[in-house]
């Protein structure tokens, strides 16, 4: 059994982590049967410069960071552990070297995305991470940025405090927190202008 299989088996044993709450920036009124209907909404970091300004992107990014930090603080959690960590090291090194990402859009168009200095620092920091790396609250903002920008893929967990955060993509966040009341969780999420379980009203 390799390390990924061991991690997956361990995660599967965490019954409290199997159910979670979805957090998103998308208006619940625009869902139909769980599908978001506004196809003009930006959903990816690489939409910056095309559909959203970097300043507006940072505003939304900070809202996700603040939700995570508030829950960590409420849970009196001293650290989160990186599990199921995956990163494309070759792409990170290439990005640091060339300061850009070249990819093909869904429409077959060649896109050149230019990284800024913040991106380059985050990518360098990402390369220093490893499985089971303990992330202090001070370091959480940068790790959440890496996750939202797609520089790494991982779960953030503290088993003793029974909290877990997953970023599956498209600016969705899954929160598993056994010891945080749903009403309080909803209040935290909404205080940062995000939505809790937005599909439920569709």
pLDDT in tens, 108-144: 889 999 999 999 999 999 999 999 999 999 999 999 9
Q: Is residue 121 part of a domain?
A: yes
Strand 134-135 with 195-196, pairing: unpaired
Q: Which domain holds residue 173?
A: 3-12+19-86+116-201
Q: Is residue 193 part of a domain?
A: yes
Residues 6+ apart with CB under 8 A from 197: 21, 22
Tally of structural domains, the chain: 1
Q: Is residue 188 part of a domain?
A: yes
Mean pLDDT value across residues 90-110: 91
Q: Is residue 177 part of a domain?
A: yes
Contact (Cβ atoms closer than 8 angstroms) between residue 24 and residue 153: no
Q: Is residue 154 part of a domain?
A: yes
* pTM of structure: 0.88
Q: Is residue 49 part of a domain?
A: yes
Q: Is residue 64 part of a domain?
A: yes
Query: What is residue 28's DSSP assignment?
Result: G
Predicted local confidence at residue 134, as pLDDT: 96
The band of 4, judged by pLDDT with boundaries at 50, 70 and 90, is low
C-alpha to C-alpha distance for 38 and 143, rounded to whole angstroms:
29
Instruction: State what percent of residues in the chain have pLDDT above 70.
Output: 90
Predicted local confidence at residue 202, as pLDDT: 47
Q: Which two tokens stand for residue 111?
A: 């896109």
Q: Which two tokens stand for residue 191?
A: 């205080």
Predicted local confidence at residue 39, as pLDDT: 83
Q: Is residue 111 part of a domain?
A: no
């Amino acid at each position: 059994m390799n390390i990924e299989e061991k991690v997956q088996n361990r995660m599967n044993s965490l019954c409290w982590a199997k159910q979670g709450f979805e957090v998103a920036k998308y208006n619940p009124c625009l869902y139909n049967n769980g599908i978001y209907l506004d196809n003009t909404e930006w959903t990816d970091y690489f939409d910056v410069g095309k559909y959203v300004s970097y300043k507006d992107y940072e505003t939304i990014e900070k809202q996700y960071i603040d939700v995570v930090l508030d829950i960590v603080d409420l849970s009196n959690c001293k650290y989160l552990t990186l599990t199921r960590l995956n990163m494309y090291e070759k792409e990170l090194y290439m990005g640091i070297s060339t300061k850009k990402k070249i990819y093909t859009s869904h429409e077959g168009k060649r896109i050149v995305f230019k990284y800024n200095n913040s991106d380059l620092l985050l990518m360098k920091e990402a390369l220093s991470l490893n499985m089971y790396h303990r992330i202090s609250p001070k370091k959480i903002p940068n790790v959440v940025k890496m996750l939202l920008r797609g520089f790494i893929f991982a779960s953030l967990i503290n088993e003793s405090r029974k909290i877990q955060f997953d970023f599956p993509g498209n600016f969705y966040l899954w929160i598993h927190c056994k010891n945080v009341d749903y009403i309080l969780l909803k209040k935290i999420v909404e205080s940062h202008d995000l939505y809790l379980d937005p599909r439920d009203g569709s």
